[in-house]
Structure 1
């Protein structure tokens, strides 16, 4: 059965339509009678969590339907989950043959569970066996009258570009059906050209399941609705609803909303039906940098209308989330649920801390708290109501990455409430007018300095800070710049043995072809090394003296013209020249500035930092002396972290 239908299954295969009051009562009875799952979840205080370290959370996994490097595939992505009319769970995903990359041979695979997700049957390849093309974004929806399951999905071939690299060919939507509870599927490709606009350069559906609306007449099944997104050849992007009034046999385009080029647009929309019959659509926003609002939402009264009514899709405020697909689910008689990674940030790498939030006002506002499913890296998810009344969730995760494995968990409303915790990330203040406050991860502590000030102390295990949302004022690297900070540390034996450098400040990406700047402590020399990379290879400069004496040192990394300089305590700077192709390391996309770690979180700083400043200009000797003496220096100051408090 569809997770959105306002019906209650008394026994599998028998559906009774009841009034709202009775429905609420039955749901409450089910909640009371259902046993609770044990508390669990990911490792408390893992590096991905922005909130304070604390135990608890929902059960992280009941089962793992799809595991990377098994059953003939390297990676599984884009999970979707439905409950059939007969109470079977269907877990459907993309199976990627060579890697987790979006470019490659991709099949659609399915597993069935008849015990609410505790165990799963053998894998079925629904689409793609023997076909090198890409089948993606599976979106199933169930017709409650016939039990028919419709699977809308995208398909594209691959073509070489001018350099011989594989690129995606024209993309279209296709259709498959099952009339035997997901055991078998139609083999006709069933292209759906009417669902793609003539001027569309891109089309997709979901991800996530579709819904069946509450019937308006007893003799007529409810309308089936699926979400889609598109991009035109003129670069208008937007969302559209697709609907069927004959149980999924034929489909038509419905309400559409587009955003002009350069403005935020909805992407990967998820939908559910609200208690009053309207459709709530919550989508990932294409806006990443310069905003904390990475989700947009709209209300649609008629899926078949030509347009989403004004005001269309608006940003969802106060909902920290990175760019990622999420799932929405209206609980019968209960709150509206949203599952998505809850770590704030504008990069794909910010997909951490999968949590379930609630809304009691039809999605206008969302709770600051939520129940954490997994504190480590996690990506896309999908939710459905199980036959017994609990919620089932299918989600992406892996070791050290958000993608590769697909796991299943389940929880009841009472477990959701008991596991709720404050997801608001802790921060420390940026005193400049830009207010680029740093997000605090792990449990770094504020320590006292001899001069009476405060400093941030990092434990070298999982403590770090992040400057997020990639504001334009932090896109330094085209011209002169400076990074200044006080540093206090002592080289530990394990650091010397491992040879790993400890990152103090790391801006942007990582790797030999990534634009970046960084300052690191070198355990081999006891000194510091600074590096910039414009994507053409690193240019580095190192201090001449040791600074790992557990005393405070003032460090300045800067570029003056074509020279890269690293100075300590006002002594003559170590310098190196920059070639023309090493000059511009500004990031062109989303980015993060880390303090105390590097972007892959495989090395951490053990020591203290204080008064971290970033300038859009070089500093003179007099400027550096003023900073060492504790004076303000605000000309072209982009960040000033004085670590007075954590809030």
Structure 2
């Protein structure tokens, strides 16, 4: 154990955790994080669009969002900074490493590895140093440092590839390899040679990477030997097997070997971007991003292994982690000596990269078998990857990605201890409203929409036009409508506000799939300029729209049906004649090919919100006849090929 680890054990140990154990004896029924003493306050407060769906009233002040910002977009010669890594050094300092991208935030481009040092626990940072990539157009990625506590040597494993044009002239990666650098003076200087590590890449591998985040040093097994160094890696073979592998060093980082490996056949969920830590019982716990995105709420998988040098992870290998809502993103693990296992990741559920919101620190009291529904929120806005490390003095430091309106670009630093984490703990459980179809595609509720009544109907959902909205997530196949006929029906009630008329923005009632030029999508919006409703589809060749006749913004209930019947796209209100247009062949198929979300009350970029009410929202995989629409207006059921039916009977 290093001196730094010993200090953290004292701070997070007897005093804090004895008190928590006593509280747990009184309230055994509470399933809460090991750093909290109670659940959140009773419902009643408001929630915002970045609240990850957490129940209104369970929000707290959160952890300190930023102590400093080591790397800021469009500064120091780079457009974007991504993939943070944080590690303490033997002299008590901190190293912050990242990818520096010269042109935008895209993964394709000139990427360097940069570093800053701090001697005051992250409050200030040294001038930036380019560790790898200066003057080289190649891609240097995923800096993964690990420190040998005996010698102080910092080993830095990273990935490297060149670029080459494909047949269409687009830039693509060349062969990718792992490389190694060392520093013997706490990051002040680094070895200059490329030092490739071919033994860490299988002969049949088409892809290899390492990290993200820092590696770990295991507890020494002999007093005359340093503890084994371990980092995580992922790979993909030429046969499309994907998986995770541990890399290890028994000589303080001078040489590295490939260890335990676990792979999944093509087309099955596999671990990606593994984070790892050593549990108090000595085993290595690995929690990874899953390659499964659609059709599942489990976007993380985990495994345990006793020996990093073993040829394989023991059965069952990597299994889905339930009860841990998270979008596809890298996470960070930290086993607090004498305390809980911590995980930092975006906590908003969803299958898309754009779901990287609400960065939170959650905990497990039992080595990753279960995870608390509570956590301390670092940032309610968009945030991506993070890396946590134990700081000298007993706190936890964190580097994480964020920016304005996107999860990536800036890398900020914050720190917290047990009192701050305890005070910030709040329930992160997403709220839902029920889908009455057998598909059970329940909508996630954001903000604080109110339930009201619709005369002659049941409950209705009222949106405030500021931050209330719903999402249908996890991109189930039954909601990939758009190859043939489809229909969207709903009851709507709204009144055009002056601010909406002045802004000129259409208010989104239902928005399916993507946004922007070339994105496949469908949407129903209220047009403040005309006072009517507009239905639009886009198969990627440009939008095609139809608009209702007359006004619907009279603060009265209207029933709208937007649909495609054969080659015709149409929209009608209250059973009146439909406004239609003929679709060209290239305009008809707007099915999304990848992950998608369906929004109600907002659009994917959250720059426009609906002020009004919705009820009885349905999506069909066919068109509706006039008789079908009349039955819906009369309150009768029409269930043939019904894919979603939101009744708004309650929020749970």
Normalized against structure 2, the TM-score is what? 0.94
User: Is the Cα–Cα contact under 8 Å of residues 284 and 304 in structure 2 kept in the other structure?
Assistant: yes
Is the Cα–Cα contact under 8 Å of residues 431 and 640 in structure 1 kept in the other structure?
yes
CA distance in 2, matches of 1:135, 1:27: 42
**What residue number does 1:51 align with?**
54
C-alpha displacement at 1:87, in angstroms?
Answer: 1.1
Does the 8 Å contact 2:17/2:339 carry over to 1?
A: no
1:479, distance to aligned residue in structure 2 (A): 1.0
Equivalent residue, structure 2, for 1:288 = 293
Conserved 8 A contact 2:7-2:393: no
Structure 1, residues 340-388: CA drift from partner, whole Å, max 9, x if none? 0000000000000000000011101100111100000000000000000
The aligned residue for residue 322 of structure 2 is 317
Task: Kindly provide the CA deviation profile for residues 92-128 of structure 1, in whole angstroms up to 9, marking residues without a partner as x.
Answer: 0000011000001100000001111111111110000
1:248 alignment partner, SS class: coil
Specify the alignment match of 1:76 in structure 2: 81
Going from structure 1 to structure 2, the CA distance change for 1:634 and 1:182 (only over 3 Å counts) comes to same
User: Which residue is equivalent to 2:104?
Assistant: 99
Structure 1 CA distance, aligned partners of 2:573 and 2:457? Answer: 22
Q: In 1, distance between residues paired with 2:402 and 2:444?
A: 23
Cα separation, 2, equivalents of 1:640 and 1:22: 52
CA distance in 2, matches of 1:146, 1:44: 52
Q: Distance in 1 between matches of 2:262 and 2:46?
A: 41
C-alpha separation in 2, matches of 1:539 and 1:385: 55
Instruction: State the Cα distance separating 1:25 from its structure 2 match.
Output: 3.9
Asked if the contact 2:523–2:537 (Cα under 8 Å) also holds between the matched residues in 1, the reply is: yes
Alpha-carbon deviation of 1:538? Answer: 1.2
Match in the other structure for 1:34:
none
1:247 aligns with 2:252: yes
> Which residue number corresponds to residue 495 of structure 1?
500
Distance 1:411 1:22, change over 3 A: closer
Confirm or deny: 8 A CA contact 2:113 2:143 kept in the other structure: yes
State how far apart, in whole Å, the 1-side matches of 2:468 and 2:254 are: 54
Q: In 2, distance between residues paired with 1:455 and 1:642?
A: 8
Aligned residue among 592, 598, 601 for 2:597? 592
Determine the C-alpha separation between the residues in 2 that align with 1:587 and 1:463. 25
Structure 2 distance, partners of 1:485, 1:25, is: 58
- Alignment match of 1:379 (pick from 380, 384, 390): 384
The change in CA–CA distance for 1:23 and 1:246 in structure 2 (over 3 A counts) is farther
Q: Contact 2:464 / 2:610 at 8 angstroms: preserved in 1?
A: yes
Q: In 1, Cα distance between the equivalents of 2:3 and 2:137? A: 42
The separation in 1 between residues aligned to 2:47 and 2:97, in whole angstroms, is 31
Matched, 1:425 2:427: no
Mapped contact 2:457–2:635 kept (Cα < 8 A): no
Q: How many angstroms apart in 1 are the aligned matches of 2:246 and 2:124?
A: 34
Aligned-residue offset at 1:645: 0.5
Equivalent residue, structure 2, for 1:185 = 190
Out of 138, 142, 146, the residue aligned to residue 143 of structure 2 is 138
* Aligned length in residues: 625
Shift of 1:288: 0.3
What is the 5 A alignment of 1:561-640? 561-640=566-645
Looking at structure 2, the residues matched to 16 and 412 of structure 1 have their Cα atoms a distance apart, in angstroms, of 15
- In structure 2, the partner of 1:215 is 220
Which secondary structure state, in structure 2, belongs to the residue aligned with residue 575 of structure 1?
strand
Shift, 1:274, TM fit: 0.3
Is the contact between residue 80 and residue 105 of structure 2 (CA under 8 Å) also seen in structure 1? yes
Displacement after TM superposition at 1:16 (Å): 7.1
Name the SS for the 2:648 alignment partner: strand
Per the TM alignment, residue 582 of structure 1 is displaced from its structure 2 partner at its CA by: 1.1
Matched, 1:109 2:111: no
2: CA distance, partners of 1:23 / 1:530: 56
- Aligned match for 1:353, one of 334, 350, 358: 358
Q: Output the aligned Cα RMSD.
A: 1.8
For residue 479 of structure 2, what is the aligned residue in structure 1? 474
Q: Give the distance between the partners of 1:96 and 1:340, measured in 2 at CA.
A: 22
Q: CA deviation at 1:544?
A: 1.6
Q: What is the Cα deviation at residue 45 of structure 1?
A: 3.2
Partners of 1:175 and 1:192 within 8 A in 2: yes
- What residue number does 1:121 align with? 126
The residue that corresponds to 2:242 in the other structure is 237
Partner secondary structure for residue 421 of structure 2? helix
Contact 2:12 2:418 in 1 (8 A): no
What does 1:506-585 correspond to in 2, within 5 Å?
Answer: 506-585=511-590
Q: What is the rounded CA distance, in whole Å, between the counterparts of 1:481 and 1:337 in structure 2?
A: 45
Q: Alpha-carbon deviation of 1:23? A: 9.0
The whole-number CA distance in structure 2 between the counterparts of 1:423 and 1:250 is: 42
**CA contact 1:92–1:109 (8 Å) conserved in 2:** yes
Residue 622 of structure 1 aligns to a residue in which SS? helix
The residue that corresponds to 1:157 in the other structure is 162
The 3-state SS of whatever aligns with 1:644 is: coil
Confirm or deny: 8 A CA contact 1:44 1:55 kept in the other structure. no
**What's the offset of the Cα at 1:148?**
0.1
Q: Structure 2: where are the runs of 5+ without partners?
A: 21-44
CA distance 1:430–1:27, change in 2 (3 Å): closer
> Does the aligned pair in 1 maintain the 2:7–2:394 contact within 8 Å?
no
Distance in 1 separating the partners of 2:172 and 2:500? 43
1:27, 1:332 within 8 Å by CA — same for their partners in 2? no
Counterpart of 2:341 (choices 331, 336, 345) is 336
